[in-house]
Amino acid sequence: MKLLIRNLDRLTTEEELKELFKEFGTVQSCSLVMDRDSGASKGFGFIEMPKPGEAKAAIKNLNNTTIGSNKIRVKKAEDKNA
């Protein structure tokens, strides 16, 4: 299941994000969306977790938690082709 994480602190790294989600299960991939020009984080990213139950636990437990100086939002990523 692919998860969208929004409102990330711009200083949050992929490694920090991965560690956070690993508490709830296997993390298949993690990617922060970066600004092409500045190379800085755009404040959102994606996590892929192969087991839907683990992904749902991560959503439930991490949505609206404060990471760095921001309260993050976590939800299932919508399929672009839908």
Alpha-carbon span 43 to 20, nearest angstrom:
16
Q: Is the dihedral of CA 65, 71, 48, 18 positive or negative?
A: negative
**For 21-58, how does the pLDDT look when each residue is reduced to its tens digit (9 = 90+)?**
999 999 999 999 999 999 999 999 999 999 999 999 99
Does residue 71 surpass a pLDDT of 60?
yes
What was the pLDDT predicted at 26? 97
- Grouping H, G, I as helix, E, B as strand and the rest as coil, residue 41 is strand
Rounded CA-CA distance 67/22 in Å is: 15
CATH architecture for segment(s) 2-74:
2-Layer Sandwich (3.30)
Q: Tell me how far apart the alpha carbons of residues 34 and 63 are, in angstroms, rounded to a whole number.
A: 22
What residue ranges do the domains of the chain occupy? 2-74
- pLDDT, mean of residues 13-22: 95
Instruction: Report yes or no on whether pTM surpasses 0.85.
Output: yes
pLDDT bracket for residue 81 (50, 70, 90): low
pLDDT at 65: 96
